[in-house]
Amino acid sequence: MAGTEALMDDRPRYMISVAADLVGMHPQTLRIYENKGLVRPKRTAGNTRLYSERDIERLRLIQQLTTELGLNLAGVEHVLRLEDQLQRMQGRLDRLEREMKEEIRNVHKTYRRDLVLYEEPRLPVRRTVRT
């Protein structure tokens, strides 16, 4: 399900005017951010920009960084680059964790096949002959 949600987050759906309204910015500001590489909306065959939910969230983050924290666009660019790197590393970590869990499951399966119940050795009973 998480994979499906991620795909939907990236689906281009909002024209620039709608995206600008959603984040409370002027469309020209979105064009500037695109020119600086801060956001990368998809393009239709007619070259119309279409913003995804992920793009909208990124624009909100840019807005927060500039208005609440007072960062300039160079600072925003640096923060976004670090954020992207963090997301990539988190993805790698998640993948490695899944692989490790699968490997552990495989190892446990082999243990179960190889396990033999322990039985105490039986010593021969010595009988003494009474005469």
Q: Is residue 119 part of a domain?
A: no
CA 16 to chain centre: 26
Is residue 54 one of the residues assigned to a domain? yes
76 occurs within a structural domain: yes
Q: How confident is the model at residue 115 (pLDDT cuts 50, 70, 90)?
A: low
pLDDT at 1 over 50: no
Which residue range is the domain that position 100 belongs to? 2-114
pLDDT bracket for residue 125 (50, 70, 90): confident
Calculate the alpha carbon distances from 19 to 9, 80, 125 in Å.
14, 19, 89
Q: What is the mean pLDDT of residues 120-129?
A: 78
Farthest-apart Cα atoms in the chain, separation: 116
> Distances from the Cα of 70 to the Cαs of 74, 78, 94, in angstroms?
11, 14, 33
- Specify the number of domains making up the chain: 1
Checking if the pLDDT of 2 tops 70, the result is: no
- pTM (two decimals): 0.68
Task: Give me the CATH number covering residue 57.
Answer: 1.10.1660.10
pLDDT per position as a tens digit, 53-91: 999 999 999 999 999 999 999 999 999 999 999 999 999
The answer to whether position 126 is within a domain reads: no
